Structure 1
Amino acid sequence: MVEQLSPLAQAFRPGSHGNFADGVGVTLSEIAPGSIVQVAAWPGEEKTLMGAIASVTKLSLADGAGAGAVSERHSAFGFAPGKFLVTDASEGLATALAGAVPSSTGTVTDLSHGRTAIRIEGARAEWVLGKLFAVDFEQAAFPIGSGISTAHHDIFTQIQRSGAARFDLYVFRSFARSFWKMLCHAADEVGYEVV
């Protein structure tokens, strides 16, 4: 297998950046899940599809838009009616899900090659993301595991809260460098560490 180079390579500058008058506000990093998969249910098959996701990932998904769950290995969240983004730290998730989701239930699409995953973490993560997206990132409104799909200046972004002060952002690979630079500029005011 040929190693895939990160689209952030030219813009990724490890170290400390921005205003550190009050310390580091956020940490930015590229994460590399082994699998990023979109699963979509045919009308009326949402519960069956959620059961299939649970059987493969061992994640219990609640019903409702944006509901999701995270574990050390997997994450999943609904980002549109009957549509879920599911990740695995290892490769092979698309094959496992395809085996668990009959064609009469829905579809499985491997997005691993077409998405870049970026993590923002820290005390000011909600504030930085709030500068870019018209979304309430407070934990009461956006609990751990939940996710959304949104856009900033036509850059489609799927966001999941993966920890108390941590968000994972999935963007099209072709827009990843531009998005990364924009995120760094947004974090400049609070000081950020690239790791």
Structure 2
Amino acid sequence: MASRNTVERLSPLEPVYQPGLHGQSEHGAGVTLCEAKQGSILQLTAWPGEEKRMIAAIRSVARLAVPDGAGGGIVKNGKAAFGIAPGKFTVTAEEEGLAEAFAASLKPAIGTVTDLSHGRTIIRISGEKAEWVLAKLFAIDFSLPAFPIGAGRSTVHHDIFAQIQRTDNDSFDIHVFRSFARAFWKLLCHSSEEVGYEVQ
């Protein structure tokens, strides 16, 4: 049973989330799709000139040595962080409460913390065909040299804004607005049909 202070977060994907093999999967699945249910999804924004202090705060609170600059990132021990713009970072963690930890640690002179946990959905795609499927949707070079592990990119597919982080050699987390999550999930499933996909 959930504690009194815990609010259970319902998935916007529930009506269309169908575990199992789909598409042309007679010889196995080219990709695996799932919802990455992170307990904390944050955006940290440093005031001008305070970027290095914000990076230090991320290292102190989340134990993540995120590189300076947009696009650089790190994935470690169930947590991840990446730069989405100058002085702006997305930080995620499996556990809840990271927003409160940052709010207690950050001084107002450094910047702000915005809890996006109830406003974002993270969809994970992995497998040997993950780069190929994503390249159908986004005008990004998804090859490992151009998009290394930990790195993140902010982009759009038509009107759907997405932040994508590479979490492993063949795995990507796609952050989308909760209100667009179901539509994007259906699009991703359709795009994966010809290589076969498994929903876990």
Q: Please indicate, yes or no, whether the TM-score normalized by the shorter chain is above 0.5.
A: yes
Question: Within the alignment, does 1:46 sit opposite 2:51 as a pair?
Answer: yes
Question: Within the alignment, does 1:78 sit opposite 2:83 as a pair?
Answer: yes
Select which of 165, 171, 175 maps to 1:166.
171
Q: What does 1:8-157 correspond to in 2, within 5 Å?
A: 8-20=13-25, 22-157=27-162
In structure 2, what is the equivalent of residue 188 of structure 1? Answer: 193
- Give the share of equivalent positions with the same residue, in percent: 61
Contact 1:22–1:190 at 8 Å: present in 2 too? no
Are residues 2 and 47 of structure 1, via their aligned partners in 2, closer, same or farther at CA, if it must alter by over 3 Å? Answer: closer
Contact 2:81–2:89 at 8 Å: present in 1 too? yes
Question: How far off its partner does 1:100 sit?
Answer: 2.1
Stretch of structure 1 that moved more, 14-23 or 30-39:
14-23
Can you give the 5+ residue segments of structure 2 that lack an aligned partner in the other structure? Answer: 1-5
TM-score by length of 2: 0.95
Contact 2:69–2:85 at 8 Å: present in 1 too? no
Contact 1:17–1:192 at 8 Å: present in 2 too? yes
Question: How far off its partner does 1:30 sit?
Answer: 0.5
SS at match of 1:126: helix
Stretch of structure 1 that moved more, 16-25 or 185-194:
16-25
- After superposition, the CA RMSD in angstroms is 1.0
Q: Which whole-Å CA distance do the structure 1 matches of 2:111 and 2:69 have between them?
A: 18
Q: Which whole-Å CA distance do the structure 1 matches of 2:16 and 2:169 have between them?
A: 27
